[in-house]
Amino acid sequence: MNNFKQYQWLLYCRPGFEQDCAQEVFRHARLQRPVLSQQAAVIPNCGYVEIALNGQSLSIRNLVFSRQLISLHQTIKNLPDRDRLSPILAAIETLPIDFSILWLEVPDTNEGKLLSAFTRKFQPILEDALRARGRLQNTGNQTLSRLHLFFPNKSTVLIGTSDPYNSATSPMGIQRQSMPSEAPSRSTLKLAEAIEIFMDRGEQSRLLRQGMHAVDLGAAPGGWTWQLVKRGIRVTAVDNGPMKGVLAKHPLVEHLKQDGFKYTPRKAVDWLVCDMVEKPSKVATLVGEWFAGGLCKHAIFNLKLPMKQRVAAIDSALDGIKKRLDEEGINFRMIAKQLYHDREEVTVFITRTKK
């Protein structure tokens, strides 16, 4: 007999990846204790998943396919058009904690976008009501939970909270980036987002410094290289394709028309970045060998997802890297995430750490 209380979770993900998101959550949960029911409310292409667990904890850092992790308290269906406020306030009244901030959110889908005008209008009304009741603190106390009101449609709301130490820091779990006009490809947004998501400000200035040297495998036309040279980092760009725009002739860029799987630098570099379209296992082996051979200290790379068994393919690729680095006694931190700017792929960050 299992006496653990059921806890509901609400997770946001890229539309189309709901099954992967749920599968991954259950795998983490099962590692802690048996899961009572593997039934998740998985609606294809809706951009979110609801899951009940019997007391297992979840960590946003370990979840590749989840953009946001919310402890779900209540769902209200059939909200009246004329007064959505009263039932929502009554539900929030029952929550025992106060909040640092209120986020009204919608799914990252076309239907969701149509709801944004409604949430923008509703936000200040609800904020005023919560402030009047002393539930929304204006003290800038970042340790308080965030309050999330998620509207899959205008008449349904899912009310939940997130722990600021175990959740994404942007509304809808989306770290938006604006497209720099000089960058030669939209892929530049992936690396820009990866830097923001995987490294805090201190780490960004320590790990991405002027005068460092990076190798970019599969660099053309140069979106990732652009992010590095903009930070004063020298880049060896490896690709048979052409580097474009300002990167075609840039003093910090050396372009080598070579096979990225065969290229090795003469001297160790600070960074390896890699966006080659290849099987995840092949890219993972390559990255593992670069670290094992002491060729780089940090890496950001993409793993392209197969059509089927996506969670298993990513798990196996990451396990392979971990095993290889463990064999060499290398201490490291590795985080993988399907970023907002990722499509059928996930992005991985590895950094060597001290003992």
Ligand X SMILES: C[S@@+](CC[C@H](N)C(=O)[O-])C[C@H]1O[C@@H](n2cnc3c(N)ncnc32)[C@H](O)[C@@H]1O
Give the active site residues. 304
CB atoms within 10 A of CB 267: 6
Which 97-126 positions form the footprint of ligand X (CB under 6 A)? none
Total number of residues that touch ligand X (CB under 6 A): 21
Q: Using CB under 6 A, pick the residue from 119, 187, 236, 338 that binds ligand X.
A: 187
| 288 phi/psi in degrees, rounded to 5 | -55, -40
State yes or no: residue 236 binds ligand X (CB under 6 A).
Answer: no
Would you give the binding string for ligand X spanning residues 242-261, x where CB under 6 A is met?
A: -----------------xxx
The kind and range of the H/E element at 161 are strand 156-162
How far is Cα 37 from Cα 243, in angstroms, rounded to an integer? 51
**Closest CB 225 distance from ligand X, rounded Å:** 7
The kind and range of the H/E element at 11 are strand 7-12
Q: Give the residue with the Cβ less far from ligand X, 261 or 332.
A: 261
* Long-range contacts of 248-253, Cβ-Cβ distance < 8 Å, separation of 24 or more: 253/222, 253/225, 253/229
How far is Cα 353 from Cα 203, in angstroms, rounded to an integer? 12
Stretch that binds ligand X, among 85-93, 99-107, 135-143, 183-191 (CB under 6 A): 183-191
How far is Cα 1 from Cα 34, in angstroms, rounded to an integer? 12
State yes or no: residue 232 binds ligand X (CB under 6 A).
Answer: no
How far is Cα 177 from Cα 194, in angstroms, rounded to an integer? 11
Cis, bond preceding 221 (omega within 30 deg of 0): yes
Would you give the binding string for ligand X spanning residues 191-230, x where CB under 6 A is met?
A: --------------------------xxxxxxxx------
Q: Give the residue with the Cβ less far from ligand X, 112 or 222.
A: 222
Would you give the binding string for ligand X spanning residues 259-298, x where CB under 6 A is met?
A: xxx-------------xxx---------------------
Q: Which parts of this chain interact with ligand X (CB under 6 A)?
A: 185, 187-188, 217-224, 238-241, 259-261, 275-277
